[in-house]
Structure 1
């Protein structure tokens, strides 16, 4: 399905000027540089972890969430990663940071496509809900093609703020799960085509 602009939900704010450093919190809660395989990321047959990258190959028409099992987070924290997207049509394939994951049927994703569109989507009870933040075009922030893009989320209570390449692109209030939850990554592929994504690191810190 092609990306369509959606009406923004009440309470969503968009800003494209604030600058920040990526995951600069005072204490690292978790970090993976993907120097070796880690089964906590799962045993998906099309997942590779080697040489400093987590590579996720997504089958045609599918989306694949990876929760980093064994490490759950609660309260206030930051999540960041750098990803290279390898797909032929960024309007139907994109990479994401996954957050507030209770299980594989309940989570949020901060999605970034290399045509410059960003959004936040929520999966609840195994069903995609109306997007908390609809697809929105950024200007000059997202690197196109197979250039790396740095994604960052700052979570403070129910408030979530998203950054692309050190620039703030969205802020919204969501429904945080009770207790600790998982974080991870997500990749989507269009019908009829595969897509792959190279994540260069994954880091969670306290909020700066």
Structure 2
């Protein structure tokens, strides 16, 4: 649309330009005739033949010079007008706005360990003990971890009922599961103490004690 508008305006400018040139040419031509008539009249008064070639040449030269001056001025005006028009068209052109870049940021919660990738919960055997004295807590934890895919080998009571939060102990050769087990239990419980020093003679790979 902008190009079509520019083309139409250029055509209008050209028509105005040539029309002005033609009008000025006619004016100059008429002025030349008037000048020629006056010079002929004056020459007649002085006894000089109005057909004197020198007078005719001077008249023609005046006409040519006048026409050249007028045409030159019009060309300059046309160029100035075109320059202003092109500048205004460039300023009004629609500049596409680039879409803002979307930066995806992933925020990792502080204090939450990242489990090692590729671990299979089913390969870790766990013993769950009740360390709070509240009935059924070991069974509840067993069901929760079973849904996560862990192998629950046994449940029972701890050596006392004074444990706070959840205690996790795991064997050293299964320590790569510690962060994963802690992360899963943190979804339901407050995890307190964790360690990878469970005795190698213990019957399962990990021991989880549910405290108060």
Which bracket does the TM-score occupy, shorter chain normalised? under 0.3
Structure ranking higher in helix proportion: 2
Q: Considering only CA atoms, is the larger Rg found in Structure 1 or Structure 2?
A: 2
TM-score using structure 1 length: 0.23
TM-score using structure 2 length: 0.23
Structure ranking higher in strand proportion: 1
* Greater RCO, 1 or 2 (C-alpha within 8 Å, sep 6+): 1
